[in-house]
A and B are shown apart, each in its own frame.
Chain A
């Protein structure tokens, strides 16, 4: 099987801190690889190595068969990068930013302008193309940043936490645009702290923590590991929390997570468990103020995989 990019045993230390302790990553052409992990897990370090900005202390990484250290110059011909912080120039307009990158990629002036206009249209910035980026909202800046990484039609695009700091509505808009980035056959590496985001965008997910891979697979496989969905129940009378926990234990056959703020939560494998929970709560005469079925959060995936929460991990 050929990969668009592949990393094996990446190790990177900064002084006494080990950012990566042997990470493997790989993505087939035309797919999105989600790299999921809490703050400080090593996601950005891995992206920076794959983007030739950082040399690994051990291990190796290739983009389309070219080594990121030895063939760095040729790898740069194949990649596009959108860093964690908006890496566009605030004093320039959107058009000027994109044209500059096009010209640095050796496009002729007319070609660079045409490409900039095309991307501004696609990322819905045409109306603001002549305004300085310093006047842009966070969401617009992000969109411009995504457009900037696509100027040279890169084979591999790295997006480092592309939606961090966006409000939920803006996030879904960014998701739609990111999804379209593989349309031309490009491969995307996306880092995120949100399981929902990886679930919405990624074909494969690699979960990392403390610089090591703790799980890898398709979103469906990962959710299975984490117990798929989660039922959350908040009884009106907090005193009945123990009864609720007993019902959830019986329905799911799993241990209920330690209750937090009068809420009992348990991972379940299928939708049937939800109906069953509703029936039993009703039979017991327990009224609830909250009852929901949802995907596990990253924190819950972590809890299942490592036995500790992300906050404790950091």
Chain B
């Protein structure tokens, strides 16, 4: 047995670098396989953009902008940001919670791999959700008459920016997933947390008519920056400041909640 133990030690020592990256990617592959086997789990990423667009445009369009067509141009960038926030958030915490409950994570934790690899793996595996949501959103938007008024590169940048914010806020959900034991509560907390963030913005309507306290919140809400940036990138307008703010916020969320989630996960009994 000594020989075997040494074999493994040697193998590990021979390729010490990039182990966390490799293990995380392996586990992301596992998440993707799971998603492929149960495509139903993507239904929210699939239908959310369609429902949001139809609902917002035909419900508020006439009242806010005078016509549904004009409103579609206004609201589309906001729906993009909101979709990206929700695409990862609702599912990630839940899949982590399920893994922990079923004992799968216990086995991972007893393996000589990076402590954060299983968490990173799940979050990376969920990137497919952002891709699906973005594709469906643009397809629906185009069918309804939305047109990008800048160029392809800017449109991709808008998607990237929204994804960055969604991805970094996704770590809040990872934290919720490792912190809370009941899956129903995991979903409730995620929902309650996301609403003020996603709706307390200038996404659906301009902020002018809001009471002072809400305007103040809309102003500091990082989602508003992302919506402004996406609007600039998709239909024209100032980009540099809101885009920089979005990236800054994203980096901040990632820097705080990433390590915090890993810490709680390691400490969890």
Closest residue of chain B to A81 (Cβ to Cβ) is: B110
Chain B residue total in the interface (Cβ 8 A): 30
Among the stretches A86-94, A199-207, A302-310, the one at the interface with B is A86-94
A153–B4 touching, CB < 8 Å: yes
How distant is the Cα of A74 from the Cα of B6 in the complex, in angstroms?
11
Q: Is the CB of A89 within 8 A of B112?
A: no
Is the C-beta of B104 less than 8 angstroms from some C-beta in chain A?
Answer: yes
Query: B5 near A: Cβ within 8 Å?
Result: yes
Residues on B with C-beta less than 8 A from A77 are 5, 8-9, 12, 112
Chain B residues in 8 Å Cβ range of A152: 8, 111
Closest A residue, CB atoms, query B269: A54
Question: What are the interface flags for A77-103 relative to B under an 8 Å C-beta threshold, 1 for contact and 0 otherwise?
Answer: 111110111111111100010001101
The answer to whether B182 has its CB under 8 Å from any CB of chain A is no
Q: How far is the CA of A53 from the CA of B106 in the complex (A)?
A: 7
- A-B contact sample (6 more), CB < 8 A, given A104-B108, A104-B117: A53-B106, A87-B107, A89-B34, A100-B27, A105-B111, A106-B19
Using an 8 Å CB-CB cutoff, how does the interface string of B1-36 with A read, 1 for contact, 0 for none? 100110011011001000100010011001001100
Contact B110 A91 (CB under 8 A): no
Contact A106–B12 (Cβ < 8 Å): yes
B33 & A91 in contact (Cβ 8 Å cutoff) = yes
> Do A92 and B107 contact each other (CB < 8 Å), given the known contacts A76-B112, A184-B1?
no
Most chain A beta-carbon neighbours within 10 Å: one of B1, B4, B103: B1
Interface string of B34-65 (1 = CB under 8 A from A): 10011000000000000000000000000000
Closest residue of B by beta carbon distance from A91: B34
- Taking CB atoms, residues of chain A closer than 8 Å to B241 are none
A79: chain B residues at CB < 8 Å are: 110
Central interface residue in B9, B27, B106, by most chain A CB within 10 Å: B106
Q: If A77-B5, A103-B26 touch, does A14 touch B110 (CB 8 Å cutoff)?
A: no
- Whether A76 contacts B111 in the complex (CB less than 8 A), given A53-B106, A85-B103, comes out as yes
Which chain A residues border B106 with CB–CB below 8 Å?
51, 53, 81, 83, 87
Decide if A101 touches B107 in the complex (CB within 8 Å). yes
B113 at the interface (CB under 8 A from A): yes
With A and B bound together, what is the CA distance between A168 and B108 in angstroms? 30
Residue of B38, B107, B112 with most chain A CB atoms under a 10 A cut-off: B107
Contact A92 B8 (CB under 8 A): no
Q: Chain B contacts of A104 at CB under 8 A? A: 23, 26-27, 108, 111, 113, 117
When C-beta atoms are compared, the residue in chain A nearest to B111 turns out to be A104
CB pair A14 B104 closer than 8 Å = no
Cross-interface CB contact of B104 among A74, A88, A186, cutoff 8 Å: A88
Rounded to whole Å, the gap between the CB of A147 and the closest CB of chain B is 12
Does residue A252 face the partner (Cβ distance < 8 Å to B)? no
- Across the A-B interface, give the 10 residue pairs with the lowest CB-CB distance, nearest first: A87-B103, A76-B112, A81-B110, A91-B34, A87-B107, A85-B103, A185-B1, A83-B103, A77-B112, A155-B1
Given A89-B104, A106-B19; A76-B110 close (CB under 8 Å): yes
Is A6 interfacial (CB 8 A cutoff)? no
Of A86, A104, A106, A149, most buried by chain B (CB within 10 Å of CB) is A104
Q: B99's closest neighbor in chain A, by CB? A: A89
Q: Which residues of B contact A101 (CB under 8 A)?
A: 107, 111
Q: Can you list, as one digit per residue, whether each of B97-134 has a CB less than 8 Å from chain A (1) or not (0)?
A: 00000111011111111000100000000000000000
Give chain B nearest CB distance to A235 CB in angstroms.
48
B19 proximity list for chain A (CB < 8 A): 106
**Could you tell me if B37 and A89 are in contact, using CB atoms closer than 8 angstroms?**
no
A201-258 interface with B by 8 A CB criterion: none
The docked-state distance in angstroms from the alpha carbon of A89 to that of B107 is 10
Contacts of A96 in B (CB 8 A): 30, 33
**A87 to B30 Cα, complex, angstroms:** 15
- Tell me if A186 and B103 are in contact (CB < 8 A): no
- Shortest distance between the CB of A5 and any CB in chain B (Å): 12
Determine if A20 is an interface residue (Cβ-Cβ < 8 Å): no
**A153 to B26 Cα, complex, angstroms:** 21
CA–CA, A307 and B106, complex, Å: 36
Q: Does A52 belong to the interface (CB within 8 Å)?
A: yes
**CB-defined contacts of A74 to chain B, threshold 8 Å:** 9, 112
Q: Which of A51, A89, A155 contacts B110 (CB 8 A)?
A: A51
Task: Report yes or no: A81 in contact with B107, Cβ–Cβ below 8 A.
Answer: yes
State how many angstroms separate the Cβ of A104 from the closest Cβ of chain B.
Answer: 5
Partner pick for B102 among A29, A64, A73, A87, CB 8 A cutoff:
A87
Nearest residue, chain B, Cβ from A12? B269
Most buried by B among A88, A91, A100, A186: A91
Q: How far is the CB of A73 from chain B (nearest CB, A)?
A: 6
CA distance A101 to B8 in the complex (A): 14
Shortest Cβ distance from residue A60 to the other chain B in the assembled complex, whole angstroms: 18
Bound Cα distance from A53 to B111, whole angstroms: 10
Q: Chain A's nearest CB lies how many Å from the CB of B153?
A: 37
* A-B CB contact pairs (8 Å), 9 listed: A51-B106, A81-B107, A81-B110, A87-B104, A87-B106, A101-B107, A104-B23, A104-B108, A186-B1
